[in-house]
Structures are given as C-alpha cells and as structure tokens.
Amino acid sequence: MLKVVGGASVSDLVIDAAERLPATAIPLIEATAAPADISLQVLSPPADTVPMANPMDALFATHSESSKPSLADDSSDEDLQARVHDLASPCTDYAISGYPEERKDPFDDVKPAEVVQRREVMSFGQARFWLMRHLVDDPNTFNCTGGMWLEGFIDVGRLGRAAEICAQRHEVFRTRFFEEPGRPDRPMQAIMSATRLRFEDRPVTDKSAALAGFQELERYLYDLDKGDVARIVHFHWSSTEHLLVIAYHHIIGDGTSYEILFNEIASIYAGQRLPAPPQYADYAIRQRRAYEDGEMSEDIAYWEAEFNTLPAVLPLLPLANISTRSKAVSWDYHSGFLRLPPMLAARIKGRSRKHKADAVHFYLAAFQVLLARLSGSSDIVIGVNDANRQTLQDLTTVGFFINLMPVRLAYSTNQTFSESINQARNKVREALLHSKVPFDVLLQHLNIPRASTHPPLFQAGFDYKQGQAEHGNIGAARMVGIQLSRSRTANDITLEVMDDPTRDPQIGIKLQTSLYAEEDVQPILQSYLNLLTTFSRNPALRAEEPRLFARSDVDHALQLGKGMPQSHINFVGDSLTFT
C-alpha cells in the first residue's frame, strides 16, 4: 500500500511482488484452444523484434460451454474455489420508482454463435452506475475516452488483430448488463463467449479531424444491455501520425484498466506471449462475499466512528454564480489545467519527505486549506479516489475498481501547514487501512440523506494519479501525448493531480457548471498554485497566511456582480479573509 502512495507504478508493484515469490509458487501457464466461434490469428513479430516461439500459445485460458471458470490460481481460501451464482441482494436499494417489473428477456437477441458462459451479480461499483444511468440527463455522463497520440510506423492490420485479441481476453468486453424480471434490486451481468467489439480504422485528413473523431466518441451512446460497452478506434492522417483511442463506459473499466489495455495491445502487437488474465466478475464475487461474511465489519465501524456526526454541506465558494443551492446538481463542469514548474515539484517532494509523508499528502493538505479559506468552514470532507486494487491479481484485472474514501480534515487558522501535512498523511493512511468498504455500502450504514441539490457526504473531490504513464510505444510508433476525457461527477469542485515521474506534474481544477462560470476556474487554480508555492518554501507558516486571490481577481469578480458582498471580503496584508 505504501509503495502505491509512494509513487510506484503498476509495473513496479508487479515486478516487486513477483520477485518475492518462490519459484514453486509461480504456476505454469497451460495453453488451451480458443472457442470455435472466435477467430484468432498468430501474430509474427515485427522485423525489429527477436522472434519468439509460438507467441500465442498461452494467450487464452478458455472454458468449454459446460465448464465453470476457475477463480484466481493464487487463492488459498477453499470457499473461493466454488462458483457462487446466487448471492444475497446488494445492501443498496437499486429499485427505481415506477420502473416496470416485467421486462423483455434481455437475451432474446443472442445470436446462435454467442453463448452465455455465466451470470453473476454486479459488483457494488457496477451497480452504482447501473442505477445512476436512470438519474442523469446526459447518457454520456459515464463515458471514458482515452487517446494516445503516436508518431512512427504502425502495421494497421496487425494493430487491429492485437486490439481484438486483447478485448477477447477480458470478460468485461464480453459482458451484458441486465435485470432479472421482477428483480430491479439485483442487477446482473452475463459473460458471453465472444466480444462484440471490432477494431475500427479511420483514415482522416489531419490531426484536427482526428480530434473531432475523438470528440465524437466522447458522445457515443453505449448499449449496456446488448454488450456494446467499448470501442477501439485508430485515426491516422499519414503513415506515421496516429491517434489510438480506447473508449468505454465506466461500468467496465477505470484509469488503470486503460493502461493495462494499452500495454497489452503493445505486447500482443510485438508478438509477446501473455498469461491468462484474472477476470473482473470473480472480483465482484469476492467483494460481495466479503461483505456478506462480515469481513468488512471492522472497517464499517471505523467509518461510523469517523462520521458519528455528519458534516455540513460545503458552503458555496465566493465566486459562485448563485447564493443558495436551489436547483438539481449538474454533472457538467468547467476545467483548467497547468504544469508545475520543475523546481516547485521538487520542493514539494522534498518537503513531503521531511514530514515522512508523500507528495499526495502535500497536495491534499493544500487543497484542504484552499477549501477551508474560501468556504469559511473548519470541517472539510474530501472524496479521495482510491484505485482500490489491493492484491497482485487486482493490479492486472481490467474492470471498475475505484472506490471513494471520504477523508475528514479539521481546519484551524492557528495551525501551521506542517500540521496540515501531518493530518492529511495520518488521515489518508487510516482511510486506506479501511478502504475495503464500497462507498455505496458506507452511505447506507451512515444513513446519509440524499438530495437533488448536492452529492452525499462530500462535495469536493481529489483525484491523484501517481505513476500514470504519459509515454509508451506500439512497435516503432512512440507516444507523444495523451488525450483524456473522464467520466463526470456531481462534485462542486474537483482537484486532479497527474504525477507522471517522466514529466512535470499537471494539476487541474474542475467546477460544476450549475454553480460556477468558466472564468472562475483560473482564479481558483491560481490560488491553489499560490498555496503550493508558498508552503513549499516555508511549511511553518500558518495556514491562513499565504495570499489566495490577487486583488485584481477579486475586483473583477465583484464587478461582475458575483461572489460575496464587498463587506464580507477583507485583505490582511497579502491574505484574503472572509468575515
């Protein structure tokens, strides 16, 4: 766990874990035949690759129609060796008022060549998306679209075969989501024998046309009932200029899944042999069993103690274009991003080490100070994204693992930033120790009231991605940039930090459109940068001391008739305070 917080990449963790295993603990991979209805082609290594014997021998571990897929080879729990088909209903009520009880059989359109291999209850995270699809106005809200700008030669036919083989390996690309008649409280997933994903090759006139194609994919309407859950599209406008896009609905994947897919496509393209991957449905089974067997009881008790009194809703920040929350929450946002100067990034890492902390704790502490000073609140709850991949098996599984940890931080005008770092460090580490509880389960146990005007428990989010690669290659083609469009949230404000060790860190602020205007992003982003700069130089300063807004930013906002009344805004030296 500490290696993840400390900046180790997925590959680093896998290598470290593999090196710790004795040779006898590493199972041999046995080659098996592919299903008859799946066309596989053996890929020869490109000319600049050393040939390997039988590169596809171990690519699949498939199952006959009558066999049951096994759980993880490294599982030592005998209970996990039995397939579980009838699990208890999820603790969250996913029923939608007025939703018809009787539905058409979702598998009426299954073609003779397709076979339902197994049916399982969705994971808690998947069930959340299944429910929320009824509650958002824009069906594209949960689309995830990632593109890699590549330069260099690519064999398009070879890339297409690699992409389709990669999709067939992972059950999430062969999954249909449905509800059994009369059971809207028990959302299900069916694993099919073959994926419906087909590689798409699109010649375009130039880079701008490729970007337009990317934006088209952002708006694509996936059909979860039919197993239409993802697309892989290759745009190219010359033999050496490309945009490879992996797009999917959030119900089947997350950011780590995106990296796994890119790396696997590159490996298969190079003719490498890959072991059979672990499957997400098995994780969903383990997760639900852990809850039903009481394995999360101690973790739930921690969160109940942490929130024995519920926090107030985060007050609107001074730049908000409304004074009260009077309308339904929006799932759209304005955003702005910037790269940190190398010296600032180095100071942040150095200060973090001196506090026996990591950069993530520094960024989170500065975000807490920003929110506390802008909102006037001393009780700040921030929803921290947790990759939630707690085992070696999880690290190589394609699927939706992300969990939300509500980190509660106290603020005092007398505390130094050093104290803020220490608090953030301790709170995050405690939260990680109890992060097994799915967020939806937590909400039910805390009896959090729901409202249409704000998300439950917290209204500020923090997404820190450390070690996420912005580099790589497919054959002779080298990645020169990335294009990301993530699933949207209902948070008032979200801070994103992408800390790729090969580049300067990138920070971004996202503001909900129903509360803030587009021009509000830059002042808040600049205020956060001011805090990072000042505290990295002197963390002994009190949290209230550094300047937030420049005077010109405040004057401009007031001229627009926005924010708090003039009498509520005061400058003390270079600091902005509220009374």
Q: Where are the domains of the chain?
A: 23-288
> Does residue 126 sit in helix, strand or coil?
helix
How much is the average pLDDT of 150-171? 97
Other beta carbons less than 10 A from residue 516's beta carbon: 24
Helices (H) and strands (E) in the chain, counts: 15, 17
Q: What does each C-alpha distance from 558 to 320, 329, 563, 564, 565 come to in angstroms?
A: 11, 25, 7, 8, 8
Contact yes or no for 233/247 (Cβ under 8 A): yes
Cβ atoms of 505 and 345 closer than 8 Å: yes
| Cβ-based neighbour number of residue 482 at 10 Å | 18
What pLDDT does residue 207 have?
97
Say which residue, 34 or 314, is predicted with more confidence. 314
> What sign for the dihedral angle of Cα 142, 8, 499, 381?
positive
Quick one: average pLDDT of 540-553?
Answer: 82
Q: What is the pLDDT of residue 85?
A: 28
Which of 15-19, 466-470, 498-502, 540-544 is predicted with the least confidence, judged by mean pLDDT? Answer: 15-19
Query: In this structure, which long-range contacts are made by residues 14-21, counting pairs with CB atoms below 8 Å and at least 24 apart in sequence?
Result: 14/392, 14/395, 14/396, 17/392
Q: How confident is the model at residue 470 (pLDDT cuts 50, 70, 90)?
A: low
Q: What is the pLDDT of residues 437-464, one digit of tens each?
A: 999 999 999 998 778 888 999 999 999 9
Evaluate whether 400 touches 132 at the Cβ level (below 8 Å).
no
**Which pLDDT score, from 0 to 100, does residue 272 have?**
95
Average pLDDT estimate for 191-196: 95
- Per-residue model confidence (pLDDT) at position 2: 43
Residue 548's pLDDT is 87
Share of the chain above pLDDT 70, in %: 75
- The residues that bridge with 230 in the sheet, in sequence order, are 248
Ranked by mean pLDDT, which of 79-88, 333-342, 445-454 comes out on top?
333-342
pLDDT at 497 over 90: yes
CB 125 within 8 A of CB 402: yes
Asked if the model's pLDDT at residue 40 lies above 80, the reply is no
Q: Is the pLDDT of residue 25 over 60?
A: no
pLDDT class for 556, splitting at 50, 70, 90? low
Its pTM stands at: 0.76
In the predicted model, what is the mean pLDDT of residues 362-387? 97
Cα 483 to chain center, whole Å? 15
Mean pLDDT of 366-394: 96
Kindly tell me if the per-residue pLDDT of 278 is higher than 70. yes
Region 220-233: mean pLDDT is 96
Residue 20 has what pLDDT?
Answer: 44
- How high is the pLDDT of residue 97? 29
Q: How large is the average pLDDT for residues 554-577?
A: 44
- Measured CA to CA, the distance from residue 292 to residue 313 in angstroms comes to 31
Residue 50 pLDDT greater than 80, yes or no: no
Average pLDDT across the chain, whole number = 80
Tokens of 461: 């989010």
Of 560 and 313, more confident: 313
Grade residue 145 by pLDDT with cuts at 50, 70 and 90.
very high
Which CATH topology does 23-288 take? Chloramphenicol Acetyltransferase (3.30.559)
Q: What residues have CB less than 8 Å from 14, skipping those under 6 apart?
A: 392, 395, 396
The mean pLDDT value for 229-236 works out to 98
* pLDDT digits 0-9 by tens, 99-116: 333 345 555 555 555 789
Q: Which of 64-78, 210-224, 278-292, 355-369 has the lowest mean pLDDT?
A: 64-78
The larger pLDDT score, comparing residue 429 to residue 7, is at 429
**CA–CA dist 118, 63 (Å, integer):** 11
Q: Is the pLDDT of residue 263 over 50?
A: yes
**pLDDT, greater one: 184 or 105:** 184
pLDDT score for 182: 82
How much is the average pLDDT of 518-532?
95
